[in-house]
Amino acid sequence: METSQIIGILAGILTATSMLPQVIKMIKERSASQVSLIMMMILILGITLWVVYGIMKADIPIIASNAFALLINFVMVFLRYLYRNNVSSTKS
Protein backbone atom coordinates (compact mmCIF):
# COMPACT_ATOMS: atom_id res chain seq x y z
CA MET A 1 0.00 0.00 0.00
CA GLU A 2 1.32 3.42 -0.94
CA THR A 3 2.01 6.12 1.64
CA SER A 4 -0.61 8.38 0.04
CA GLN A 5 -3.24 5.64 0.46
CA ILE A 6 -2.34 5.19 4.12
CA ILE A 7 -2.61 8.95 4.69
CA GLY A 8 -5.94 8.98 2.85
CA ILE A 9 -7.31 6.13 4.94
CA LEU A 10 -6.16 7.74 8.21
CA ALA A 11 -7.61 11.11 7.20
CA GLY A 12 -10.89 9.46 6.31
CA ILE A 13 -11.06 7.51 9.56
CA LEU A 14 -10.37 10.62 11.64
CA THR A 15 -12.87 12.70 9.70
CA ALA A 16 -15.59 10.06 9.81
CA THR A 17 -15.15 9.27 13.48
CA SER A 18 -15.25 12.96 14.42
CA MET A 19 -19.04 12.65 14.56
CA LEU A 20 -19.03 9.65 16.93
CA PRO A 21 -18.86 11.75 20.13
CA GLN A 22 -21.99 13.59 18.97
CA VAL A 23 -23.77 10.30 18.25
CA ILE A 24 -22.80 8.94 21.68
CA LYS A 25 -24.00 12.14 23.36
CA MET A 26 -27.32 11.95 21.52
CA ILE A 27 -27.82 8.35 22.61
CA LYS A 28 -26.88 9.02 26.26
CA GLU A 29 -29.06 12.12 26.55
CA ARG A 30 -31.82 10.81 24.30
CA SER A 31 -31.96 14.25 22.79
CA ALA A 32 -31.07 15.66 19.41
CA SER A 33 -32.08 19.27 19.94
CA GLN A 34 -28.48 20.42 19.45
CA VAL A 35 -28.26 19.01 15.91
CA SER A 36 -29.25 21.12 12.92
CA LEU A 37 -31.14 19.09 10.34
CA ILE A 38 -30.19 21.50 7.56
CA MET A 39 -26.50 21.14 8.46
CA MET A 40 -26.86 17.36 8.44
CA MET A 41 -28.54 17.35 5.02
CA ILE A 42 -25.82 19.58 3.53
CA LEU A 43 -23.12 17.39 5.08
CA ILE A 44 -24.77 14.19 3.79
CA LEU A 45 -24.98 15.68 0.29
CA GLY A 46 -21.30 16.62 0.40
CA ILE A 47 -20.25 13.21 1.65
CA THR A 48 -22.39 11.53 -0.99
CA LEU A 49 -20.61 13.56 -3.65
CA TRP A 50 -17.25 12.46 -2.18
CA VAL A 51 -18.36 8.82 -2.49
CA VAL A 52 -19.37 9.40 -6.11
CA TYR A 53 -16.05 11.14 -6.77
CA GLY A 54 -14.19 8.21 -5.18
CA ILE A 55 -16.10 5.77 -7.37
CA MET A 56 -15.32 7.82 -10.48
CA LYS A 57 -11.62 7.85 -9.54
CA ALA A 58 -11.68 4.22 -8.31
CA ASP A 59 -10.09 5.46 -5.08
CA ILE A 60 -10.82 2.96 -2.31
CA PRO A 61 -9.72 5.21 0.62
CA ILE A 62 -12.08 7.98 -0.52
CA ILE A 63 -14.94 5.55 -1.11
CA ALA A 64 -14.52 3.62 2.15
CA SER A 65 -13.94 6.54 4.49
CA ASN A 66 -16.77 8.61 3.07
CA ALA A 67 -19.15 5.64 3.00
CA PHE A 68 -18.40 5.18 6.71
CA ALA A 69 -18.95 8.90 7.33
CA LEU A 70 -22.22 8.68 5.43
CA LEU A 71 -23.36 5.81 7.64
CA ILE A 72 -22.55 7.73 10.82
CA ASN A 73 -24.40 10.79 9.56
CA PHE A 74 -27.44 8.75 8.60
CA VAL A 75 -27.41 7.35 12.15
CA MET A 76 -27.38 10.94 13.43
CA VAL A 77 -30.36 11.86 11.25
CA PHE A 78 -32.18 8.75 12.47
CA LEU A 79 -31.43 9.66 16.10
CA ARG A 80 -32.59 13.21 15.48
CA TYR A 81 -35.86 11.81 14.15
CA LEU A 82 -36.12 9.29 17.01
CA TYR A 83 -35.47 11.88 19.73
CA ARG A 84 -37.20 14.80 17.99
CA ASN A 85 -39.60 15.46 20.88
CA ASN A 86 -37.15 14.79 23.70
CA VAL A 87 -35.53 17.58 25.64
CA SER A 88 -32.12 16.85 27.16
CA SER A 89 -32.37 16.00 30.84
CA THR A 90 -28.61 15.96 31.34
CA LYS A 91 -26.72 19.22 31.77
CA SER A 92 -23.48 19.51 29.80
Q: Give the pLDDT of residue 87.
A: 64
Domains and CATH numbers, the chain: 3-82 (1.20.1280.290)
10-residue averages of pLDDT along the chain (92 residues): 83 86 89 84 94 94 90 91 71 46
pLDDT at res. 43: 92
0.85 surpassed by pTM: no
- Contact of 53 with 34, CB cutoff 8 Å: no
